[in-house]
Amino acid sequence: MSEARTRGTAPGRPSAQSPARGRAAAGSPDAAHRRELLRQMMLIRRFEEKTAELYSGGEIRGFLHLYIGEEAVAVGINQALTGDDNIVATYREHGYALVRGISADAVMAELFGKATGCSGGRGGSMHLFDSSRRFYGGYAIVGGGLPLAAGLALAGKMRGDPGVTACIFGDGAVAEGEFHETMNLAALWDLPVLFCCENNRYAMGTALEREHAQTDLALRAESYGMTAWPVDGMDVLAVEQAARRAAEAVRAGGRPHFLELRTYRYRAHSMYDPDRYRDKAEIEEWKKRDPITTLADRMRAAGEITDDEFASIDDKLAGEIAESVAAARAAPWEPAEDLEKFVYSPGPS
Amino acid sequence: MSTPQPTTYREAMRAAIRDALQRDDRVFLMGEDVGRYGGSYAVSLGLLEEFGPERIRDTPLSESAFVGAGIGAALGGMRPIVEIMTVNFSLLALDQIINNAASLLHMSGGQFSVPLVIRMATGAGRQLAAQHSHSLEGWYAHIPGIKILAPATLEDARGMLWTALEDPDPVLIFEHASLYNLEGTLAPDAGPVDISRAAVRRAGADMTVIAYGGTVGKALSAAGELAAAGIDAEVVDLRTLRPLDDATIIASIRKTHRVVLVDEGWRSGSLAAEVSARITEQAFYDLDAPVERVCTAEVPIPYPRHLEDAALPQVPGIVAAARRTVA
Amino acid sequence: MPSLGADMDEGTLTEWLVKPGDKVHKGDIIAVIDTAKSAIEIESFHTGIVDRLIVPVGETVPVGTVLATITPPEAEAVTTAAAQPVTVPAGPVTAAAKAEAPPKVTGEQPAEAASPLIRQLARRLGVDLTAVRGTGRAGEITQADVRRAAAAPRPAPAPAPVTREKPGVAARQPVTPLARRLAAELGVDLAAVTGTGPGGAVREGDVRRATAAGQPTAPAAPLPRQAPERAARTAAERALAMRQAIGRLMARSKREIPHYYLSNTVDLTAVMNWLHERNRELPVSGRLVPAALLLKATALALRRVPELNGYWQDDHFNPGDGIHLGVAISLRGGGLVTPAIHAADSLTVAELMGSLKDLVTRARAGRLRRAELTEATITVTNLGDQGVEAVFGVIYPPQVALVGVGRPAERPFATSGLVGARPVVVTTLSADHRATDGFTGARYLTTMADLLQRPEEL
Amino acid sequence: MTPQQARDAIAGALRKIAPDADPATVSPDADLRDALGLDSLDFLGFVEELSQRAGRRIDEDDYPQLATLASTIKFLSRS
């Protein structure tokens, strides 16, 4: 049933799917690719570190859920997607939006609630959208995006579109009825969905073991007759490889696949979260397997990147993000007279 | 060719679905038992044979999943018609209807509209007790972002669906289960109708009865009785419960100055309450009697016939309320 | 004090994890605060040396309060004196954030200029920030301002509103909204109407019956009902009441307002010719009368001499918020109303004509709207139809002027040394000497005369 | 228009614009406006009504012929 299942990928243990690639030279295509993965992960992290600061300063409001620690998942999954594919994400979706190509300016402006944001300022952090990138949004009801992703896949299948729909959700969603209804429907109807479960071990403050009778989430997806396997979500190369295999399988067979991406968020659930439900030592343990450090170290060892180059990427990103912040600050607010726009479509109905 | 033909509400609805499937390849019907079974109210009987299982899709009993899939399919370029057996079951899909369908256009800053139609049976009168009989359309009419229709006539059963499918936003159609057997005649070329205006079903001068869906027939019967007593009642059928057609409502009040609102929803926080508030806001100085309401008693619908009858708005109650307004 | 959620207004500092002189890195936890929800560790967003801890352990401060300052590391190398302390963490009042504050949708308290700290202090001391004058930069309210305001003697509390005593136990008469509106429109005194609705409620029909009965020419009502008689008496009483009201107002005007009067004879040849031409083309229903042009000229002249358009109140002139001409209309049963034509200067002559016809019709049918009766900024009276040459009117307080127009008539009139018969009209001005002097009044009348020489431009 | 039709048209027009005025009390040669207290707007309304009832346009130049009851009847019955 499952291909190459690797049970119990745990922190501290290198993933079977991430063999260190060969000693490619710094100028090789592989090295350039890894550099790009590194840059994308660093973009997400620097961007979010900045948003945390802005949140504390009161410039960003609402809920802000940070992805820091989980960057390898979004970056790796995105590598398997083309412009024809759809993404349905959650409220912790800054990373997906950025790697999908929504500009840092548009995402930052959205967090500021400005009219230039990627959702016109109407959505905020939890509801990033971009129709031109088939980014069907961040959904803030846990499990709420799954049925919709199945529907997108159904439409694609009925229309004969080539794309797959990547559906992102967390371990918390697996306890929701909508998860099980959608697993069943997608498998029953052979819908081309790539289910990506980001298992970061906590549903807000409730640990995996305290909310699931069966904590092997891939196993539960498998019970719907779906190919499913766990992946080391701290290793971007492992994620990329697994995502490519799964996406190709979905494309080829038109059947849904399921990846359980085992990862960890360093930050609290949201900014206003005392984070009392876990041991600080646990966080430190996971930080030892930080996806950015891990990849950078590997590249350094292979001679694919120098400290200076690393610092230069970092500086360049910092500059870009600073510009996004400045642009967001300067951007206009939507006039209050437009308040009731976007409730119904304009024009005759 | 245009001689009206005898038909029923059910057949008119089926003709509307067939017409939509023929007009537009993007249209498909999905829901529980819409295919082989033919629909729990037999609305889609025969369509599976005609259009095949791709377009007449039987779903698992997963209201959230198939309503959500309808939303996704609409986002993905299709024009789904999702059938939910009865309004009570739609509560299982409430997250999808309200948090997604109604909100997507807004939270995406206008990027994603959801051209979806959801049909469901509503209402009591068939001794189906408290989990198959409620009238929650007024509740849905509270939600911005969706449109709510209540066809009460054969013309509307035949004509509202296509207009709803052409609407870029989600539309919910509530079909009162007692209407499916309603008989009447319909022009063979009957087609789409507007979904934005209320309709005056009977013109009158002395007072107005406002009803919708399953209670329009009762309102018209009451108007007949009132006419015999020398009271000339006007009957307004709301047709579209959201957005409400204030203009037609208020014009009638300005004419008759007296009104009875009939609503199969419970009185507290009902659609009738909303209409009453709008009348007070917009036509206060035209009222010559307090607004009267005839609503369902505030109990879950009971099983025994006599108690169910007692719970629902009935003709004598409408007549009595109308008489109070002109007493 | 960092803001960690929209529902957080303040926090209590429970522990400092650093002390002055410590080196901190961006991301280091430097303190623990207690919020309404729980204890939260807070991080530094800057790298540098802790300069000073400002908020002591145990103190509760509003969001945005500076907790400590950190000197950036570069500053050490340069000079400590020039070091720009960095506030930690950045409060919500950074210049950029403030300048770009979101537009307020509703009229919130105008205390936006005050920082959260100030608002908090004001709340604690019971000071109304709207009443505090800021002495800080750009008029910002400072802590000292609030403390001063708290120390200042408070104005005596407003006396409790006097509740009007209800006469006896007379319950409020039930009247339907429609009946109430009709009664107002038809001038029916509701107290004299017998209600026939449930609980004696007065309804539409009751009011209509009362007015029908009230007409003098109506045949004596055949049967019982006290109502007809009472309504008839009411009509007479109403006429008297109106007379008394006019009397009181005019007496007050003459008592309080030092009137001065001016008059001017105006050649109407151009006006009459223009009207004649226009009316030849217009349908009968669109036909114009000279009064329409005279009103337009009256209104336009006020644009140029706005000192006459407005009210004398509290010993000074308040200009009107537009040119709303009160038009004196005599009622057939006697009496007078002066409903207003709003923004008369912006209406075309045809629109003015329409408004005038409409007002006269409605005034005589008793269907004027409240705003029309209260908002005139000046009054125009046109007794010309009664055949008088000139009318010197009494000003409607608190207005400051009244324009009179006599009867247009053919009179010998000299132009360029030649005497000929020409249509002329005498325009007059009664004005309040407290608000203007004769010079202004004269300027007004000549302006009006000039305007009437070019009717096509009106 | 016969003189009787003209008389009816005048009475109808007057009832409409000055319901409280009684044309029966006005002598045929008295000035209509003075006798009934019609101001220029009333008179315009009168002309408007009359023109409608008579089915013909009445110009300002015709006004002098509408001075009295008698002249008005004559004016209307001429056409």
B324 touches chain C (CB under 8 A): yes
Residue C374 has pLDDT above 70, yes or no: no
- At C194, the amino acid letter reads T
Residue A23 has pLDDT above 50, yes or no: no
Annotated catalytic residue within B11, B32, B63, B137: B63
Residue A41 has pLDDT above 90, yes or no: yes
Tell me: do B158 and B41 sit in the same domain. yes
CA–CA dist B84, C101 (Å, integer): 46
Tell me: do B169 and B250 sit in the same domain. no
**Nearest CA to A46 among A318, A258, A277?**
A318
Banded pLDDT at A271 (limits 50, 70, 90) = confident
C281 touches chain D (CB under 8 A): no
CA–CA dist B269, B283 (Å, integer): 20
Whole-number pLDDT of residue A20: 45
Which runs of E-coded beta strand occur in C335-408? Answer: 336-337, 340-341, 378-382, 401-405
**Nearest CA to C388 among C369, C374, C373, C404?**
C404
Whole-number pLDDT of residue C33: 82
Task: Kindly state the average pLDDT of the residues A327-346.
Answer: 94
Tell me: do B72 and B38 sit in the same domain. yes
Annotated catalytic residue within B32, B83, B132, B264: B132
B11 is catalytic: no
Contact C204 B284 (CB under 8 A): no
Overall fold of domain A29-331: Rossmann fold (3.40.50)
**Nearest CA to A17 among A262, A223, A293, A197?**
A262
Q: How far is CA C88 from CA A42, C31, C44, C99, in A?
A: 25, 11, 7, 20
Task: Kindly state the average pLDDT of the residues A104-114.
Answer: 97
Task: Kindly state the average pLDDT of the residues C252-258.
Answer: 88
Task: Kindly state the average pLDDT of the residues C271-287.
Answer: 85
**Nearest CA to C291 among C458, C149, C433?**
C458
* Residue B155 falls inside a structural domain: yes
Tell me: do B182 and B218 sit in the same domain. no
Banded pLDDT at C115 (limits 50, 70, 90) = low
In contact, B8 and B151? CB cutoff 8 Å = no
Which runs of E-coded beta strand occur in chain B? Answer: 5-8, 27-31, 56-58, 79-86, 117-122, 147-149, 171-176, 183-186, 199-202, 207-211, 233-237, 240-242, 259-266, 292-296
Whole-number pLDDT of residue C154: 55
Taking contacts as CB-CB distances below 8 angstroms, the residues of chain C near B285 are 177-178, 180-181
- The DSSP-derived string for B92-124 is GGHIIIIIIITTHHHHTTTS-----EEEEEE--
Taking contacts as CB-CB distances below 8 angstroms, the residues of chain B near A153 are 72, 76
Mean pLDDT, consecutive 10-residue segments, chain B of 327 residues? 88 97 97 95 96 97 98 98 97 97 97 98 93 96 98 97 97 97 93 96 97 98 96 98 97 96 97 98 94 97 95 97 94
Taking contacts as CB-CB distances below 8 angstroms, the residues of chain A near C96 are 329
Tell me: do B237 and B179 sit in the same domain. no
Q: Which one-letter DSSP state was computed for residue B30?
A: E
Task: Kindly state the average pLDDT of the residues C56-63.
Answer: 87
Whole-number pLDDT of residue A348: 53
What is the residue extent of each domain of chain A? 29-331
How many CB atoms within 10 Å of residue A10? Answer: 9
The rounded Cα C41 to chain-centroid distance in angstroms is: 53
Task: Kindly state the average pLDDT of the residues C362-378.
Answer: 73
Number of domains in chain B: 2
Q: Is the backbone peptide bond immediately before C89 cis, with ω within 30 degrees of 0?
A: yes
Task: Kindly state the average pLDDT of the residues A219-248.
Answer: 97
Q: Which of A3-12, A40-49, A106-115, C440-449 has the lowest mean pLDDT?
A: A3-12
How many CB atoms within 10 Å of residue A239? Answer: 31
Position of tokens 């970061």? A200
Select the more confidently predicted residue: C285 or B43.
B43
Tell me: do B51 and B9 sit in the same domain. yes
What is the residue extent of each domain of chain C? 10-151, 178-216+225-256, 258-457
Starting at the earlier edge strand, list the strands of the sheet with C39-43: C39-43, C29-34, C10-16, C60-62
* Residue B192 falls inside a structural domain: no
In contact, A64 and A270? CB cutoff 8 Å = yes
> For the purposes of burial, counting CB atoms within 10 Å of the CB of D76, is it exposed (0-12), middle (13-18) or buried (19 or more)?
buried
Find the closest chain A residue to B243 by CA distance: A344
Overall fold of domain C10-151: OB fold (Dihydrolipoamide Acetyltransferase, E2P) (2.40.50)
Q: Tell me the pLDDT tens digit for each residue of C382-427.
A: 766 667 888 888 998 889 999 998 888 888 877 777 788 888 899 9
Q: Which of B266-270, C95-99, D17-21, D49-53 has the lowest mean pLDDT?
A: C95-99
Whole-number pLDDT of residue C370: 60
Banded pLDDT at C226 (limits 50, 70, 90) = very low
In contact, A313 and A95? CB cutoff 8 Å = no
CA–CA dist B180, B122 (Å, integer): 11
Find the closest chain C residue to B290 by CA distance: C176
Residue A200 has pLDDT above 70, yes or no: yes
Contact B112 A178 (CB under 8 A): no
Most distant CA atoms of chain A, gap in Å: 63
**Nearest CA to C131 among C146, C115, C121, C117?**
C146
CA–CA dist D46, D10 (Å, integer): 8
Tell me: do B156 and B247 sit in the same domain. no
Residue A70 has pLDDT above 80, yes or no: yes
Q: Which two tokens stand for residue C373?
A: 């009766």
Residues 14-53 of D with CB under 8 A from C: 18, 20, 37, 39-41, 44-45, 47-48, 51-52
CA–CA dist B24, B327 (Å, integer): 54
What are the two backbone dihedrals, phi and then psi, of residue A82, each rounded to the nearest 5 degrees?
-110, 180
In contact, D67 and D31? CB cutoff 8 Å = yes
CATH code (residue B149): 3.40.50.970
User: H/E element holding C4?
Assistant: none
Select the more confidently predicted residue: A213 or A23.
A213
CA–CA dist A244, A231 (Å, integer): 12
The alpha carbon of residue D40 is apart from the nearest alpha carbon of chain C, in Å, by 7
Position of tokens 């009064």? C291
Q: Which CATH architecture has domain D3-78?
A: Orthogonal Bundle (1.10)
The interface pTM score, or ipTM, of the predicted complex is 0.63
Residue C157 has pLDDT above 90, yes or no: no
CA–CA dist B271, B138 (Å, integer): 5
Residue C122 has pLDDT above 80, yes or no: no
Whole-number pLDDT of residue B30: 98
Taking contacts as CB-CB distances below 8 angstroms, the residues of chain A near C39 are 274
Tell me: do B107 and B206 sit in the same domain. no
Banded pLDDT at C253 (limits 50, 70, 90) = confident
> Which of A55-64, B315-324, C15-24, C191-200 shows the highest mean pLDDT?
B315-324
Banded pLDDT at A275 (limits 50, 70, 90) = confident
State which residues form the domain around B88: 5-186
User: H/E element holding C427?
Assistant: strand C418-432
C290 touches chain D (CB under 8 A): yes
In contact, B293 and B260? CB cutoff 8 Å = yes
Which runs of E-coded beta strand occur in chain A? Answer: 86-90, 135-139, 165-170, 193-199, 202-203, 206-207, 227-232, 257-262
Q: How far is CA C450 from CA C267, C301, C306, C409, in A?
A: 10, 9, 17, 19
CA atoms within 13 A on the CB side of B93: 33
Q: Tell me the pLDDT tens digit for each residue of A128-164.
A: 999 999 999 999 999 999 999 999 999 999 999 999 9
Chains in touch with A (3+ beta-carbon pairs under 8 Å) read B, C
Tell me: do B95 and B123 sit in the same domain. yes
Residue A119 has pLDDT above 60, yes or no: yes
Give the whole-number percent of chain C exceeding pLDDT 70: 74
* Residue B193 falls inside a structural domain: no
Tell me: do B128 and B241 sit in the same domain. no
Whole-number pLDDT of residue C75: 54
Whole-number pLDDT of residue C80: 35
Find the closest chain C residue to D34 by CA distance: C386
The alpha carbon of residue C440 is apart from the nearest alpha carbon of chain B, in Å, by 46
Whole-number pLDDT of residue A14: 41
* Residue B311 falls inside a structural domain: yes
Whole-number pLDDT of residue A97: 98
- The DSSP-derived string for C282-294 is S-GGG---HHHHH
CA atoms within 13 A on the CB side of B42: 7
Chains in touch with C (3+ beta-carbon pairs under 8 Å) read A, B, D
CATH code (residue B278): 3.40.50.920
C284 touches chain D (CB under 8 A): yes
B63 is catalytic: yes
Task: Kindly state the average pLDDT of the residues C3-16.
Answer: 77
B221 touches chain A (CB under 8 A): no
Whole-number pLDDT of residue C229: 41
Q: Which CATH architecture has domain C258-457?
A: 2-Layer Sandwich (3.30)
**For chain B, how are helix, strand and coil distributed in percent, rounded to 5?**
40, 20, 35
Dihedral sign of CA atoms B161, B165, B166, B167 in order: positive
Q: Are strands C340-341 and C325-327 parallel, antiparallel or unpaired?
A: antiparallel
End-to-end CA distance of chain A: 49
In contact, D6 and D77? CB cutoff 8 Å = yes
What are the two backbone dihedrals, phi and then psi, of residue B263, each rounded to the nearest 5 degrees?
-150, 125
